[in-house]
Amino acid sequence: MPQNVTIRLSPAEAANETILKQRLASAAKTKPENINAYQIIRRSLDARSRNIVNQLQANVFINEDFYDAFQFNPNLQNVENAHEVYIAGAGPAGLFAALELIEQGLKPIIIERGKNVRDRRRDLAAMNKEGKVNPESNYCYGEGGAGTYSDGKLYTRSTKRGNILKSLQWFVHFGATERILQEAHPHIGTNKLPGIIANMREAIIECGGEVLFDTKLTDILVENNQIKGIELNYDTKIKTSSLILATGHSARDIFRMLDEKNILLEAKAFALGVRIEHQQDLIDASQYHCPIGTERNEYLPPASYSLVSQEAGRGVFSFCMCPGGIIAPASTDEGELVVNGWSPSKRDGFFANSGMVVTVDEKDFAKYGFTGPLAGMKFQQMVEQKAWQVGGGSLKAPAQRMTDFVSGKLSNSLNDCSYLPGLTSGLLSDVLPKEVHQSLQLGFQTFGKKMDGYFTENANVVATESRTSSPIRIPRNEETLEHIQVSGLFPCAEGAGYAGGIISAAMDGAKVAIAVKNFIKK
């Protein structure tokens, strides 16, 4: 058995093979020449003090053969003639549900309203360059779902939802770097994800599964509280007794369709706010305790941050922080303005951005006249429409300098920004609900005291960050994972209110796939 040891090294030492092996030998109480092999199984960076260190956990093999702690042998079998299971949505949940179904000996058929990753790029380019929104192909809809263009963060606290390691191993199997198996906060990068997602799709098809693009779920056929079939593209009806519903947090037409059919839904609290953009060197200086404008230590990654406070009884917190990233348009319909952020794999951009959001719930929805299961969705839509109006249309985003946002002053000019459709100077108090706006004003000042340089006129506040999670929960049985009212309907992941990111969605997809296998066996 290898010895499992933990060591702490400076970033430069951790990058030096000789020093690393010496320190591992010392921790294992042996000589370097006795080490046949070693494997880093956990890697994290501690930058809380000026003495920045890497903490490494490793398996050390002393006079014994190496074995890979991350060995992965998926059961990708031929399921071409197996029992068919329909999956609505080709995001992380849908793809991982399909992979699990294949391992369980079932044939997945994924129906996706959007396009494949290659064709999807043209519509994203039109959003960025021309301010045009394709309601069926955008940053939220298409192969890989919102996850394909949402930075590729693979960190989750959802350890009870499923096997995190297996989810990461699937990504490595389809082309991600093995470092994501080691990192405390693994990240792939938006530039790498499309190729990995395409490899997943090709594997599903090679095993006999199907992936149907430009195919929209338009109805669920229910009799006596049991699924009997589905309708695609308003005309094609297909018989099926089960459906994995993994359509994501932005599929408002699906929520409306379920509500019209009196299928039980619940309004759900979610977080809403803005996206903040600083220069990356300012964040590096603050987090790594070095002067602004100096080059970051070559052994350190672009710095990130995580901030949280309580302001006027509400939580204010950072969300999806993207070092070296860009702000992108994430609208799914004309007349609405949504922004998101992402980073390439090297995180080497000039800017750093993060969502900064406030939790809102049914009491807030009711203040604006929204009640019932779709209340949160309508509240969300109201804010996005205001952002569109204040921005002036064509996906131009309303923005203020951070100091002007806090003082309630219209900015005479804005800082340079990574957001390609462009910014419009506008009062974000005309966009955000009063309670959200005031909480953010207080939060920015609090964060300025926690983090040197954070509260500055050199940062832009951009509206609106509103798709943090689904505003609706589709209730399901805790044991069978079926909808509590409709047998055979399996609400899944973010769109159903049961996940909050790529990995948690992937794990929920796999868990639901196993539940479907149990349903079919009955």
What is the token pair recorded at 181?
């198996």
Rounded Cα gap, residues 450 and 264, in angstroms: 44
Tokens linked to 470: 């689904």
On whether the CB atoms of residues 472 and 253 are closer than 8 A, the answer is: no
* The length of the chain, given as a count of residues: 522
Same domain, 366 and 276: yes
Asked whether residue 133 falls in the same domain as residue 18, the answer is: no
Answer yes or no: pTM beyond 0.85: yes
Distance CA 235, CA 29 (A): 70
Amino acid occupying residue 242: S
Query: Which of 444, 465, 486 is the last residue before a domain boundary?
Result: 465
- Mean pLDDT, residues 209-229 taken together: 98
Assigned domain for 75 exists? no
Same domain, 287 and 417: yes
Distance (Å, whole) CA 186 – CA 172: 12
pLDDT tens for 432-470 read 999 999 999 999 999 999 999 999 999 999 999 999 999
* Per-residue pLDDT, 148: 86
Check residue 161 and give its pLDDT: 56
Same domain flag for 409 and 429: yes
Q: Which CATH number does the domain housing residue 47 bear?
A: 3.30.70.2700
Instruction: Please indicate, yes or no, whether residues 261 and 240 belong to a single structural domain of this protein.
Output: yes
In this structure, are strands 243-245 and 84-88 parallel, antiparallel, or unpaired? parallel
Which of 449, 465, 481 is the last residue in one of the domains?
A: 465
Q: Is residue 72 part of a domain?
A: no
Same-domain pairing of 401 and 461: yes
Q: Where are the alpha helices (DSSP H) in 270-349?
A: 280-288
Dihedral sign for Cα 255, 260, 265, 266, please. positive
Q: Is the same domain home to 435 and 288?
A: yes
Distance CA 203, CA 90 (A): 14
Q: Where are the alpha helices (DSSP H) in 131-251?
A: 164-173, 193-206
- 78 within some domain: no
Kindly state whether residue 74 falls inside one of the protein's structural domains. Answer: no
Domain range holding 9? 3-62
**How many angstroms separate the CA atoms of 120 and 64, rounded?**
50
Q: What is the pLDDT of residue 162?
A: 65
Asked if the structure places residue 71 within a domain, the reply is: no
Q: Which amino acid belongs to residue 108?
A: P
Domain count along the chain: 3
Split at pLDDT 50, 70, 90, the class of 159 is low
Q: Is the pLDDT of residue 81 over 70?
A: yes
Residues 184 and 288 in one domain: no
What tokens appear for 196 in the block? 């990995």
CA distances from 124 to 128, 137, 352 (A): 6, 8, 21
Residues 433 and 397 in one domain: yes
R_g (Cα) of the chain, nearest Å: 24
CA distance 337 to 32: 58
pLDDT at 160: 54
Predicted confidence (pLDDT) at residue 156 exceeds the cutoff of 80: no
* 335 and 290 fall within a common domain: yes
138 lies in some domain: yes
Q: Which residues pair with 227 in a beta bridge?
A: 222
Residue 124 to residue 131: CA distance in whole angstroms: 10
pLDDT value at 3 more than 60: yes
pLDDT of the residue at 168? 95
Statement to judge: residues 238 and 138 lie in one domain:
yes
pLDDT given for residue 149 in this prediction: 79
Inside any domain, residue 353: yes
* pLDDT surpasses 90 at 522: no
Residue 200 has pLDDT above 70, yes or no: yes
Residues 89 and 229 in one domain: yes
Give the CATH number for residue 209.
Answer: 3.50.50.60
Question: Which sign does the torsion angle of CA 297, 455, 147, 264 carry?
Answer: positive
488: left (phi over 0), alpha (psi -120 to 50) or beta: left
3-state secondary structure of 244: strand
396 in any annotated domain: yes
